[in-house]
Structure 1
Amino acid sequence: MSSESPDRSIDSTVPHSARIWNYLLGGKDNYPVDREAGDKVFQIFPGMVDMTRHSRHMLTRVVRYLAGEAGIRQFLDIGTGLPTMDNTHEVAQRVAPTSRIVYVDNDPLVLLHARALLNSRPEGATDYIEADVRDPDVIIAEAARTLDFSRPTALMLMGILGLVSDYDEARSIVDRLRAVLAPGSYVAVYDGTDTDPAYVEAIRNYNAASGAVAYTPRSPEQIAGYLDGLELVEPGVVTVTRWRPEPSPWGEAPEVACAGGVGRKP
């Protein structure tokens, strides 16, 4: 882990997406302002908790696939969020103990909890970078301390690109990150979609009232656009509950306004 201190203090008066997500997942690493923002979304859109849980469950399945069937041993996880159960390194190293994982997030609170994210098996490695997804060149340079980009790597962009309001900018960020990946690498992505009017209204209210970085739900076609030119892994870009589904801890999975997929760089 970098020895540099975060250059921003934690502001507990403004909600942050990582802490709101932690609250919706049932975690304790959040502040009253985060809980208030999460509750407002939930009041308009009760399905938000289902979306949070099942998108996280997709991440677990994706990492297990990548470390297992796809044989990937390097992961760049951008927009990590606060540590919870089945973090990327835990899932990957259960399958392949030599896996190397770099986490990236821009919330100083995540940095304070990064020790849990750096609890690597001795055969593998983990690192943490405090950086914003809008700074792909910084991420690439810092990640190269731990990852060898001449070898296949999994780029994880799970629930983060909706925080980039301009779609063309989001696409350019993905393209820059994809450019450094070796052939045989994978890109995994999911984000909230504009397919449920109640969810769209809840996010509109959240953006207007919370003071946090705005989130932009996108169409499934726009989310699929992040994987243009890649070989899509079956079943393609689908709602998170339909991506290689398996029994979840919460029973039968409902349809949720969140879609994603995985693509392989030829």
Structure 2
Amino acid sequence: MAQREWVPPSVDISVPSMARTYDYLLGGAHNFAVDRQLAAHVEQVMPDARSAARVSRAFLGRVVNFMVGQGIRQFLDIGSGIPTVSNVHEVAQAAAPECRVVYVDKDPIAVAHSELLLADNDRAAIVHGDMRDPDAILGHPETARLLDLDQPVGLLLLMMLHWLPDDADPWALMARYRAALAPGSLLAITHVTADHQDERLDEVTGLIKESRSADQLTERSHDQIRALFGDWDPVEPGLVGCSAWRPAGPGDVADAAEMNMVIHGGVARKP
């Protein structure tokens, strides 16, 4: 029963969560049999799925360090997930201790573990919120405490927007976030794409649908993902397979070439 002590009562552990499945693929321990089963099915279809997860996580670290190098000292990480290694506040505060970070997630387990992780850090906080409600996130007391929206912010939506279907209009949603931020702000996005994939990605999408998870994958093209940045100025090298975004070493690149292209990543700056 001890394993269940960290599970909020509202969580249905009979249905997989993509946050917990991602945690498992990254080697984390806060997941259940149903999440591991879905991950196993995904890996049967796409044996290098763990590499794709690792590559996307490595992108986070490089982006945060880049943003700190550009003078960003406050971060809003929407869809931060279950804490694992190299979280935003750890990377940012290692480079500049004065950095402030607000995490946002709708998953109760992600929130509970983030609260524990951040209990002694007065420059970082977790908000229980849904990315589809920017007013609630931007107006939250913790956001107001830690972030000055009149100054540049590093906004991260990593591995998040592909969980929104087209009819939720992620482009309009992102326009609301972009409008709320000051000039000089930086936006980082990663998003699953089928542009360079075969039918295996469609099979993975089908597996997620069959799992009854509340999170359903919508693959998008390069142009559709690029439109999420609006008229902000892309940072070189633009929107690319996330392993190709300023790689710092072999650990940033997957051995299987197609896993370097399954997730597009990019950064743009508000003029």
TM-score (norm 2): 0.90
Match of 1:36 in 2: 37
Seen in structure 2, the aligned counterparts of structure 1 residues 169 and 117 have a Cα distance that, compared at 3 Å, is farther
- Structure 1 residue 133 displacement after superposition: 0.8
Match of 2:20 in 1: 19
Q: String of CA shifts for 1:163-215, please: whole Å, max 9, x gaps.
A: 11126611111111111100000110001111212123212222233433211
Match of 2:4 in 1: none
Alignment of 1:1-266 (within 5 A): 9-68=10-69, 70-118=70-118, 125-142=123-140, 143-166=143-166, 169-195=169-195, 196-197=197-198, 198-249=200-251, 253=255, 254=257, 255-266=260-271
- Structure 1 residue 227 displacement after superposition: 1.3
Seen in structure 2, the aligned counterparts of structure 1 residues 57 and 87 have a Cα distance that, compared at 3 Å, is same
Tell me, in whole angstroms, the C-alpha distance in 2 between the residues paired with 1:155 and 1:250. 21
Is contact 1:190-1:259 (8 Å) kept? yes
- Structure 1 residue 221 displacement after superposition: 1.4
Is contact 1:83-1:116 (8 Å) kept? no
Seen in structure 2, the aligned counterparts of structure 1 residues 116 and 220 have a Cα distance that, compared at 3 Å, is farther
Equivalent residue of 2:130, what SS?
coil
Seen in structure 2, the aligned counterparts of structure 1 residues 232 and 26 have a Cα distance that, compared at 3 Å, is same
Tell me, in whole angstroms, the C-alpha distance in 1 between the residues paired with 2:252 and 2:244. 15
The alignment's C-alpha RMSD in Å is 1.9
- Counting helix residues as a fraction of each chain, which structure ranks higher? 2
- When structure 1 is superposed on structure 2, of 237-246 and 220-229 the one drifting more is 220-229
Is contact 2:8-2:109 (8 Å) kept? no
Give the counterpart letter for 1:183 in structure 2: P
Match of 2:3 in 1: none
Tell me, in whole angstroms, the C-alpha distance in 2 between the residues paired with 1:213 and 1:139. 20
Q: String of CA shifts for 1:52-107, please: whole Å, max 9, x gaps.
A: 00000001100010012x11001000000100110000000111110000000001
Match of 1:3 in 2: none
Is contact 1:77-1:102 (8 Å) kept? yes
- When structure 1 is superposed on structure 2, of 192-201 and 80-89 the one drifting more is 192-201
Segments of 5+ residues of structure 1 without an aligned counterpart are 1-5
Seen in structure 2, the aligned counterparts of structure 1 residues 65 and 18 have a Cα distance that, compared at 3 Å, is same
TM-score (norm 1): 0.91
- Structure 1 residue 251 displacement after superposition: 6.7
Tell me, in whole angstroms, the C-alpha distance in 2 between the residues paired with 1:137 and 1:127. 17
Tell me, in whole angstroms, the C-alpha distance in 2 between the residues paired with 1:108 and 1:132. 11
- Structure 1 residue 116 displacement after superposition: 4.7
Aligned-pair identity in percent equals: 40
Tell me, in whole angstroms, the C-alpha distance in 1 between the residues paired with 2:157 and 2:24. 20
Seen in structure 2, the aligned counterparts of structure 1 residues 145 and 229 have a Cα distance that, compared at 3 Å, is same
Equivalent residue of 2:30, what SS?
coil
- Structure 1 residue 146 displacement after superposition: 1.8
Is contact 1:97-1:121 (8 Å) kept? no
